[in-house]
Amino acid sequence: MYVGTLSFDLLLGDVHSLKEKRSVVRPIVAELQRKFSVSAAEVGDQDLHRRARLGVALVSGDAGFVSDVLDRCERLVAARPEVELLSVRRRLHTDED
């Protein structure tokens, strides 16, 4: 069993309130969930209106599949014009960790 995780640190563009932040972050999370069948959520910086930390997780029996899906998730977030991707942290866990 392989568990892959991504943690995105994002800088949001023209956002001036937490309400505007939600209108940017929620569609990204929903698209990740819909397109790639991953678990995704805002996992940090909830009180900052120009920063967001998103987490993505995926479980599979094939390490190559996990790596491929995480690559596609990273490309999707990096391509969003309304956010700047500051950093990405990737981990691959096995059931022997």
**Paired tokens of 21:** 């932040």
Are 56 and 6 in contact by the 8 Å Cβ rule? The answer is yes
pTM: predicted TM-score of the whole model, two decimal places: 0.90
What pLDDT does 27 receive?
96
Q: Which domains does the chain have, with CATH numbers?
A: 1-92 (3.30.70.1120)
What pLDDT does 40 receive?
97
- Strand extents, DSSP E, the chain: 2-12, 39-44, 51-60, 83-94
Three-class DSSP category at 95:
coil
Q: pLDDT tens-digit profile of 1-43?
A: 999 999 999 999 888 999 999 999 999 999 999 999 999 999 9
Residue 36 sits at φ, ψ, to 5 deg, of -120, 0
Is residue 84 very low, low, confident or very high in pLDDT (cuts 50, 70, 90)? very high
